[in-house]
Structure formats: C-alpha cells, structure tokens
A and B are shown apart, each in its own frame.
Chain A
Amino acid sequence: MAENFNEMLGPDGQVRAPYAILKQWLDTQSPADLRAKIREAESIFRRLGITFAVYGNEEAAERLIPFDIIPRIFAASEWRRLEAGIRQRVAALNAFIDDIYHRQEILRAGRVPSALVLQNEAYLPQMAGMTPARNVYAHIIGTDIVRVGEDEFYVLEDNCRTPSGVSYMLEDREAMMYLFPDLFARHRVAAIEHYPQMLRRTLDSVAPPACEGEPTCIVLTPGIYNSAFFEHAFLADEMGVQLCTGDDLYVDGGFLYMRTTRDPVRVDVVYRRIDDAFLDPLTFNPDSTLGVPGIFDAYRAGHVTIVNAPGTGIADDKAIYSFMPDIVEFYTGEKPLLNNVPTWRCSEDESLKYVLDHLPELVVKEVHGSGGYGMLVGPTASKKEITTFREILKKRPDNYIAQPTLALSSAPTFVKSGVAPRHVDLRPFVLTGDQIRITPGGFTRVAMKAGSLVVNSSQGGGTKDTWVLED
C-alpha cells in the first residue's frame, strides 16, 4: 500500500499551508490540557444527550461518538474544487433517478445495463412515472469522499436515501467554538450553522402542487429508540418544525394530517428518516408500524412531498456506483470532476475470479450494506477472516462489490499517546430544491485506531470538526 497522504505534514514533511496556525498552536499545548478539554467536551455531549445508539449492544445502548478536538482543515481553493465536483455529481444523480423512473434513456443507450437497474432491490416500480416537485428526488445527499493525495479525491459512495451525521457536524462546530475560542478566532472559518435554515428552505421549495400558502413541513422519525433519534429531534428543533412518528400522522381524503391537541393540521412536506420499506404499509412492507398507511398514494397524487423520494436507493446502490463516471457524463455532458474508485462487480464472472484471487488487497462490501457492517478490509483481515469471507462471497457473489484498498489520507488526531495521524474521510451534505446548497466542509469521520481504515461510528470511529478556510 502506498504511503498515506498526511494532511498536516506534506510528503516532504513540511507543514501544509492550511495547517500552519494549527501546527504552531498544537506545539504549545500540553497533552494534559488537551485531555481535560476532551473530558469537558464529553461531559457536554453526555449532558445534552448527543448520543448515538449502537445496535446489538444493550449495555452501551446510548453511546457518545468519540469527538476529536483537533479540527481538520481545508484551504478555500481545495474546497472550491471539491464543491464543483460535488455539484456536478449531485445534479447527475437526480437526473439519473428522474430518467430511471421515466424514459430510461440511459438504459436504452446501453450505458448502464437494464437488468442491473430494473432487477435491483432498490428500484421501486411504484415510483415509475412519478414526477415530484421540481423533479428533485434526492434532496439531501451525503457524498462520502476520501483523499489520497494533494489533488486526488475519490467519491466512495453517494448516500441518497437518508444520510445521517449532519447534527454531529453542527455540534462539533459548537463544541470547538466553546472549547477553543482563541484558536477558532485565529482562523477565518466558513460558517456552517445555517444548515438547518438551508434545509428548511429546501423543504419549503419542494412543497407539492396542492399546497396552499406557507408549507407545513415535518420530520418523520421511527422514534426514540432509533440510532439517529438525537439528530431527528435536533433538526426538527433547529428548523422549527414538528417531529412526528407514524402514529401522529394519518391520511384522510388523500391528504396527510397530523394529530394535534386541537384540530388536525395538514402536512405538505415530510422529511422522513425512515426507510422506504417502512414508509407505507399499504404500498411497501405490510408489517411496518413505523409509517403512515396511505402516504404513498397522497404522494403520487401530488398532495404531499416525501423527502428524499422513495426509490432513490437506486442511485447509491454500490453496483450502480461503478457506472457513475458514465452517469455523470451522460446527464451533464461533462467529464466527471471527482474520481470514482475502480470497482469490481462480483456478479460478473471475470471480476469475481479477480476478486477471489486478490482478497488480501481488496475491500469487499455488500451491495446494499451500510455502516461498515458485513464488509472485508483485506489488508487488515486475518487469514481466517479471509477464508470465511471467501465462502460467503462464493455463495452470493451478486451481493458484493470489491475495490482496491485506498491509502486514505490522515489528519492529526489526539489519541492516548498524544497527537498522531489517523485516517479520515469526509461527508459533505448537499441539499437540492430550488437550487443546490452545500455547507462548506462537512462531517469528518476519523478511525481512532492506528492504521484502521474503518471510520464508521458504529465501528468505533470518531468525528472531527471540519474547517474550510476563507481566502
């Protein structure tokens, strides 16, 4: 594996420009002081209930995501390049979904295999012919990006369903401003705290045709036992909208209403944080008690907007991912600005053979998986893990894709031994409504263990505040 790109110290060991002030500051801090700051941050998070539920771990049912107190920094010019690439990609993703549920031109042109789309679990036939407000499907996208060199960025995945983490992005910023006001003031850090207002504006802008006057928006949550409940409550609070569970809502005469202490109130836009399958027991999973019976018909009738639209999973499917360069070119007529990671689709015999022969070098992921569950990281896996995984892979090859192990960049991180480089990725949040809105930076996840490449919070990854410096 190639040498990792160190974001603070460049290849020549010199401090890179965006980190100049931070490095100086770090050199003057004692580990004991920094450790005290971490404890302070944790007690604030714990008291406020900024927690993340980890499934299958009852004792630590509500856990803090480790917060690293050293910010990750991008120069304005770096961010401008990234932002342009993200905009291009997000526009292409929405155009792709629109096409897939209408004329399917990209399939007819043979640029993406029909079977891969139409037989995909993430493809929802119920969405065929559906045109939501402003033709936007994936209103909120979390694009996972990794860096491997000074100018080399790769998109790892496009989260087009219900990406989470934005509350940590915002709370991490609050924590940094509280803990290190001086350090913060010595940088010109682009603001991100208007994200909730931007989200609110995005929701308002996609109100359905039937909406009269000011749209009523809500956040729909599975409830307090969901891993991201804190975030659902946080966003509802920050946007000044109601946080509802399925029980609070019902459909009457084709319109969606919420039950209040007084008369029912009609709902126009639902920012839902429950999966497609649970959205409507009449259309999808009949056993779901989380959703609202009849909401999908109300949606199809143009009486309510569901954000993100059902069926957007077709665009972030890991098998579709490998076609993203074609997809971007097909809809934008431009070369993609962001790199895609070369991907082997194990459903194809040739690729499967290559993957089975090279397991120790590859990362193998489930096509529909998320959260770092059920994946193999070849270079760090034991012989036994690789043998076990080989059998699993042979049984259901079409369930997996494989990618080379990228040498993720590292950023300075405060760990037990002091300040040390740890691998990071980045999830910027991109909003699409009447326009595309992006907050500068995003949610940086960091693998707290030395050498680890798994940054998922469900696997012990931590978070950092992400600073985009202004010119």
Chain B
Amino acid sequence: MLLGRNAASLFWMARYVERAENMARLVEVSYRISLMPKPFRGHTNDWRSVLISAQCEATFDAKYDEASKENVIQHLVLDRENPSSIRSCMETARNNGRSVRTSLSRDVWESLNSTWNELSQLRASHLSSDKLPGLLDWIKQRSMLFRGAMLGTALRLDSFHFSQAGAFVERADNTARILDVKYHILLPRGSGPGSAIDQQQWASLLRSVSAHRAYRWAYKDASYQPWNVAQFLILNPAMPRSLIFCYNWITRSLNDLAADYGTRTDGNDIAERTLRKLAGADMEAIFQSGLHEFLVDFIVDNNRLTSEIANAYNFQ
C-alpha cells in the first residue's frame, strides 16, 4: 500500500534529481562555449540563450540586471530563489525523499542525503572557473549514483514505478525543450546549415544531452545534420535521452503499475498514444509540418500526462 502523497513524493524526487543533472549539463556546455573564440559563438548573448534553454529568464530578470556569466551561473547553480537551480532541485528532491524515507532503500536515501549535505555547504566561491567544471561533474555523478542506487536496490513495487515515471517525464521534457529552443530560437538565421556557427550549436546541443560521441557512432558522419540530430533525439530508440526511449520507459512503468493495481487509467492511454505517435513518425514528415509545432505538441501532451498520473493516483 502506498499513500497518494508518498507516490507524489517519489515521482517528484526522481524528477528533481533528473532536472538537477540536466541543469548541470546545460551549464557545463554553455561554459565550454564561453571559452571558445568569438566567431564560433552565436549572435545572441550566449548567457541569455542559456537562460532561455533553462526556462529561467523570469526568475533571473526579477533579480539581476545583466546576463553576465557570473550572474547566470550563480542563478542556475546555487541560487536559492530559483526553484530550478541545481541547489534547489537537489533540496526539493531530498525533502521529497525524506518524507518517503520508509519507501526508499538505504542506498537511495543516503545518495540523496549526502548530496544535499555537501551541496548545502557550497558558497559562491565554489563557482570560480577553476572549480566549476569539477562541481558540475560531481553533480552528474551524484545523479547517476542516485539512479544506480534506485535501479540496483529498489524493490520493483509501485513506489519504484512512480519514481521512474517521474524521472523519464522530466527527461523527455528536457530533451524536447532543448531541441526546440536550439532549433527554433537560437540557430542564427543568417548562417546556413553547415556553417561553423551552425555546427557549433548542434555539437553543443548534443553535448548537453551527453550524446555528441554517440551521435557519431550512430550516424558515421563527421558533420552534424539537423535532421539527423533531430532524428537521434526524437526517434532513435537506442538513445537513452530520446523522446521515444523515454516513452518506452514511461509506458512500461505505467503498465507495470496498472498490472499491479489491476486497473488502467487515462495515463496509460495517453502514454501509449504518445509512444505510438513517435513509433510511427518519420523525420521528413515532422520537418515538413514543422519541428517546432511537433515539439510544442509533445511538451503539452507530456505535461498532461503528469496531471493525469497525479489525478489517477491521488497525488494531492
């Protein structure tokens, strides 16, 4: 038996760890780009574009005047007033985990708790350029430790399925959003496909989902083709951050829940519909009817799935 509130905590605990990791990747890539010589960077303010990708413009502008490197990094990594900062994500994840302490294995709980204990001690001085890359690496490792502890020690009960649904709904949202932002907003209009800036943008996009090497293995192509990158991140079932991979996982988690409980919910239908849509899609058609429209639809459906799950299982 699982309390509705506890199911919500498990869902959001895993979601926030995933979000923290994605934020770490995004900051890491942006920081890398900022080290490159000017001509390789986009025409927009790089750090402004990071805020757009992170969907943190509103909270940032409420607090800062200038989108300087220091301000943006501070806001995305340690700012307590930004609910999506890495610090806030890990705190929320840990507090959710704390309230369901009894449904977590000791390893899962310890991974969350130790991460938070260390992270809560960090000050702005830990964001200096010599320390930042190490810090971001550490965040990724802590997220992977959490995921590994979950996969390796959690009983495959309803509690596990809720956490997996949460993690992969978040990951799907992140991949779709980053792809949309890069493709739709950030790709400089003047520079045609194949230009240096274009290549740089696609490379950094792939890097932010830890996929730039995987891409080369999958496509055996030295340069980045937009349709290949989009195909890789949307329709490639082997790529663990692609939308179809996420929906395979979500569908399985929700179906396992339905099997455990002996009843299906609207959430099962929504997830399966999205999965079928992805499985039947081809890249050319998506590009023709508009990648942006496709991604926006996807994000809306993905959000609807969360409210459906919350509703069906009494998240409160």
Contact = CB atoms under 8 A, between A and B. Distances in A.
A224 B99 contact: yes
B44 interface: no
B102 A260 contact: no
Contacts of A260: 1-4, 314
A46 B115 CA distance: 11
B98 A245 contact: no
Contacts of B316: 247, 259
A237 interface: yes
A47 B2 contact: no
A247 B3 CA distance: 10
Given A46-B117, A47-B113, A247-B316, A259 B3 contact: yes
A289 to B, nearest CB: 13
Contact of B99 (A46, A47, A223): A223
B110 A47 contact: yes
A468 interface: no
B101 interface: yes
Given A248-B3, A259-B3, A233 B114 contact: no
Contacts of B313: 261
A245 B5 contact: yes
B2 A261 contact: yes
Contacts of B7: 261
Contacts of A49: 98, 101, 109, 113
A140 interface: no
Nearest to A242: B3
Interface string A36-77: 000000000011110000000000000000000000000000
A233 B101 contact: yes
- Which of A233, A236, A245, A261: most chain B Cβ within 10 A? A261
Nearest to A262: B261
Chain B interface extent, by class: 20 to 34
Contacts of B101: 49, 233, 237, 243
B113 A261 contact: no
A207 interface: no
Contacts of A244: 3
Contact of B261 (A233, A258, A261): A261
Interface in A229-250: 229, 233, 236-237, 242-245, 247-248
A259 B4 contact: yes
B312 to A, nearest CB: 8
Contacts of A242: 1, 3, 102
A47 B313 CA distance: 32
Contacts of B95: 224
B2 A236 contact: no
Nearest to A244: B3
Contacts of A224: 95, 98-99
Interface in B262-316: 313-314, 316
Contact of B110 (A48, A223, A233): A48
A261 B314 contact: yes
B308 to A, nearest CB: 14
A229 B97 CA distance: 13
A20 interface: no
A223 B2 CA distance: 17
B114 A258 contact: no
Contacts of A46: 117
Q: Which one of A49, A229, A244 has the highest number of Cβ atoms from chain B below 10 Å of its Cβ?
A: A49
Contacts of A237: 101-102
B158 interface: yes
Interface in B56-114: 95, 98-99, 101-102, 106, 109-110, 113-114
A46 B113 CA distance: 8
Interface centre among B3, B98, B109, B261, by most chain A C-beta atoms within 10 angstroms, is B3
Contact of B98 (A229, A258, A261): A229
A364 to B, nearest CB: 38
Given A223-B99, A259-B316, A47 B114 contact: yes
Interface string B1-28: 1111101000000000000000000000
B3 A258 contact: yes
A261 B158 contact: yes
A191 interface: no
B5 A259 contact: yes
A265 B1 CA distance: 9
B164 to A, nearest CB: 15
A268 to B, nearest CB: 14
A379 B205 CA distance: 70
Contacts of A247: 5, 316
A259 B1 CA distance: 10
A237 B6 CA distance: 14
Nearest to B9: A224
A231 to B, nearest CB: 11
A49 B110 CA distance: 8
A244 B316 CA distance: 13
Contacts of A223: 99
A57 to B, nearest CB: 15
A234 to B, nearest CB: 8
A50 to B, nearest CB: 10
Nearest to A261: B313
A3 to B, nearest CB: 43
A224 B116 CA distance: 15
A184 B83 CA distance: 48
Contacts of A258: 3
Contacts of A259: 3-5, 314, 316
A233 B6 CA distance: 13
Contacts of B109: 48-49
A259 B106 CA distance: 25
5 contacts: A229-B98, A233-B102, A261-B7, A261-B158, A261-B314
Interface of B: 1-5, 7, 95, 98-99, 101-102, 106, 109-110, 113-114, 117, 158, 162, 261, 313-314, 316
Closest 9 CB pairs of A and B: A237-B102, A261-B313, A233-B101, A259-B4, A49-B113, A261-B7, A261-B2, A259-B314, A248-B3
Given A242-B1, A244-B3, A259-B5, 16 more contacts: A46-B117, A47-B110, A47-B113, A48-B113, A49-B98, A49-B113, A224-B98, A233-B98, A242-B3, A243-B102, A247-B316, A248-B4, A248-B5, A259-B4, A261-B4, A261-B162
